[in-house]
A = this chain, B = another copy of it.
């Protein structure tokens, strides 16, 4: 199948033309020269290569990310890699360099319109086990180029734009979605964008996809990744699951959006502007109705935290807070996390109740567990409250008086237990959201509005389709 409307329209907005490509190559050449100059003589033999979506010709011109790899032909230890990255950071300090240490040290700079990752890596052959994830990248580039033509690369671009639009693109912890490479493999596997969307109708969990029809590899992979929602062996290293970072939530969002799109295709699905549009029309939504039921943990970070660490802690802390509130008796509707990835982060939870009532039903042991039952009776019969008593199910119960009734108070008293170690270092305020509250942080304020509205990105196209009908392209993409 070739692309149809509205995908053809989309392609105009996202596909780089020859001028865009020349610009990218010129930028790469300039960076390459500066790297070679900086490393001259001191670091053995290497090659500076353009990698990632630019090398694969699957990049989107409205989101131009460049991966520059420095591929060394000999083994280098982590100390040495770090030294290289620090040296480059020094040399490129006019381009606001930022060093990251994930599995592997690398450098991010800004130049022209590009966000550029500079990554030192070790050369490897197809049959060698890669030492780190980045060492595989050149093999990925090779595989994609070998298995696509320009038509299929256009389909990949459309698929990426779709996933960005509905909020499931990116394997970083913040998103937990589809990596660029995963999208490429999926489009290669099914032969096109619409074909991929159609295929989701038959996906069972865990979704098991084999590029080379090798069931054995899939079986091994399922054992290595028992919790993955999707299994897809990397052609460059079949013991690795390309979709290891994909959460069940993002898988589900993609599947639902695919079905909705196939039923009513629309340009909305490819736009990054829907949240902005939603915030602008917020007057129509009864936000004051929700506000009193939401609590915010508002954190000024002590110092910048690497995004993978930051979002990891935020998600874990958010789950702990949800659990804490539920243990205290709240009906938690949902919790979500936000950060500007610089100095601020927040966790918000929306609950069915504004406050808990003071009466608390305590579930005790079954009567036949003698020691537990005796302890429970001993503990509660002295209280001036009713109980303990026995119900038809054979379990003891009693009433106690709740002392903490406000969610903010409950969280505040347990911050040390629920917050991640780096978040804890910051300055933390916990407050109930009210309509008159105005955080001075505009971005946070905007996010809180979106949080209360609870219309996720994958649903917004449908929402706008029914509210506004089809849009003008210019409103969505320019």
**Interface residues in chain A, defined as those with a beta carbon under 8 Å from any beta carbon in chain B:** 201, 203-205, 247-249, 252-253, 255-256, 259-260, 284-286, 289-290, 293, 329, 331, 333-334, 350-354, 357-361, 366-368, 370, 373-374, 377, 381-382, 384-394, 397, 399, 452-456, 458-459, 462-463, 466
Known A-B contacts A255-B368, A456-B389; the reply to A333 vs B359 at CB < 8 A is yes
Contacts of A286 in B (CB 8 A): 384-385
> Which residue of the partner chain, among B252, B253, B390, contacts A253 with CB atoms under 8 Å?
B390
Contacts of A329 in B (CB 8 A): 331, 352
CA distance A367 to B333 in the complex (A): 18
Q: Which single residue of chain B is at the shortest CB-CB distance from A331? A: B361
> Which residue of the partner chain, among B253, B293, B387, contacts A359 with CB atoms under 8 Å?
B293
Residue contacts A-B, CB under 8 angstroms, 20 given: A204-B368, A247-B392, A248-B392, A248-B393, A249-B390, A252-B368, A253-B390, A259-B373, A260-B377, A290-B386, A293-B357, A333-B361, A334-B391, A352-B357, A352-B361, A377-B462, A381-B459, A381-B462, A387-B454, A399-B454
CA distance A374 to B258 in the complex (A): 12
Contacts of A253 in B (CB 8 A): 367, 390
Residue of A293, A359, A385 with most chain B CB atoms under a 10 A cut-off? A359
Contacts of A203 in B (CB 8 A): 368
Contacts of A390 in B (CB 8 A): 249, 252-253, 256, 456, 458
Contacts of A289 in B (CB 8 A): 358
> Which residue of the partner chain, among B248, B333, B393, contacts A399 with CB atoms under 8 Å?
B333
Contacts of A354 in B (CB 8 A): 357
Residue of A204, A247, A351, A392 with most chain B CB atoms under a 10 A cut-off? A392
Q: Which single residue of chain B is at the shortest CB-CB distance from A402? A: B352
| This chain's copy number in the assembly | 2
CA distance A285 to B387 in the complex (A): 12
Contacts of A361 in B (CB 8 A): 331, 333, 352
A256 touches B452 (CB 8 A): no
CA distance A391 to B350 in the complex (A): 14
Whole-angstrom distance from the CB of A173 to the nearest CB of chain B? Answer: 13
Whole-angstrom distance from the CB of A135 to the nearest CB of chain B? Answer: 31
A290 touches B352 (CB 8 A): no
Whole-angstrom distance from the CB of A184 to the nearest CB of chain B? Answer: 24
Whole-angstrom distance from the CB of A458 to the nearest CB of chain B? Answer: 8
CA distance A75 to B357 in the complex (A): 63
Contacts of A259 in B (CB 8 A): 370, 373-374
CA distance A384 to B381 in the complex (A): 48
CA distance A458 to B387 in the complex (A): 11
Whole-angstrom distance from the CB of A425 to the nearest CB of chain B? Answer: 27
CA distance A255 to B396 in the complex (A): 12
CA distance A278 to B59 in the complex (A): 79
CA distance A384 to B278 in the complex (A): 13
